[in-house]
Amino acid sequence: MADIAPIVEIRGLTKHFRAAGREIRALDGVDLTLAPAETLGIVGESGSGKSTIGRILAGLETATDGTVRLGGQDLRPGLSAARVQMIFQDPYASLNPRLPIGLQIHETLRGNGQTDRTVNLARAAQLLARVGLPADAASRYPHEFSGGQRQRIAIARAISTDPAVIVADEPVSALDVSIRGQILDLMRAMKGRTAYLFISHDMAAVASICDRILVLHRGKVVEQGTTAQIIGNPQADYTRALLDAIPRIGRRRTGTGAKPLETRA
């Protein structure tokens, strides 16, 4: 891996927010690299700062400190366009309710400089077919689709510009379990040359799709390694606690492990 130039290289990434007069350190010196076509999972609980990394990479937020290099260039406004796409958690809010699906993909391609509407609509129809949607999907509106279908549309939209990186922020968390697997399979199948930054609190989903996993806790990297290493031989107590907490078939809770919680808000 070391001899391939990384597509994303993040050093000392720091992000501070001010909320209610208090300064919150969402990210506190995060380093990570993402190789081309690699799938890196970022796992953490609420407040870990995991979403902020993806949003900075996608250009939706700016870092307080640190460097983000995308394809060897320092991140600056406009650089992320078309090279980074995003898949969001809520499939109901991530599509424009008043725009037919085909035109939403047209808009995405248009942002990438492909302005020919006829060509774009043909491409949209092709992409929608590839993600397993009916032929007339392009002319329909988001409310005519289920949550899982909408997430398929979001995937089609994300891959439409053939981006270098797709930031997938909790892409299956809002879906029923029976749909989750299908969407993960689809993401795997649609991957191609694209690298994924797969952000989730769900260790099982992350482990099932990622090559490497980075565990984040309160803005700091706790541990990172290959999926096999993190799952099979976690080093940090926090990683072990995360793994242990996942509900499993075949384990019974006795009610004796109800330990006191930390009180912090």
The beta-strand segments (E) located in 35-164 are 39-43, 65-70, 73-74, 84-87
The beta-strand segments (E) located in 38-99 are 39-43, 65-70, 73-74, 84-87
- Single out the segment in contact with another protein by CB under 8 A; choices: 10-18, 123-131, 191-199, 201-209: 201-209
The beta-strand segments (E) located in 92-201 are 165-169, 195-200
118 vs 263 by CB, closer to another protein = 263
Q: Write down the least CB distance from residue 69 to another protein, Å.
A: 18
Residues in 32-61 at the binding interface with another protein, rule: CB under 8 A: 45-46, 58-60
The token duo for 101 is 């699906």
Residues in 128-167 at the binding interface with another protein, rule: CB under 8 A: 141, 143-144, 147, 154, 157, 161
The token duo for 77 is 């406004």
String marking each residue 220-259 x if it binds another protein according to CB under 8 A: -----xxxxx-xxx-x-----xxxxxxxxxxxxxxxxxxx
For the chain, the residue count is: 265
Given 95, 124, 156, 221, the residue binding another protein (CB under 8 A): 95
Given 4, 74, 181, 189, the residue binding another protein (CB under 8 A): 181
First-residue to last-residue Cα distance in the chain: 40
- Single out the segment in contact with another protein by CB under 8 A; choices: 4-12, 25-33, 131-139, 172-180: 172-180
Beta-ladder partners of 92: none
Q: Write down the least CB distance from residue 161 to another protein, Å.
A: 7
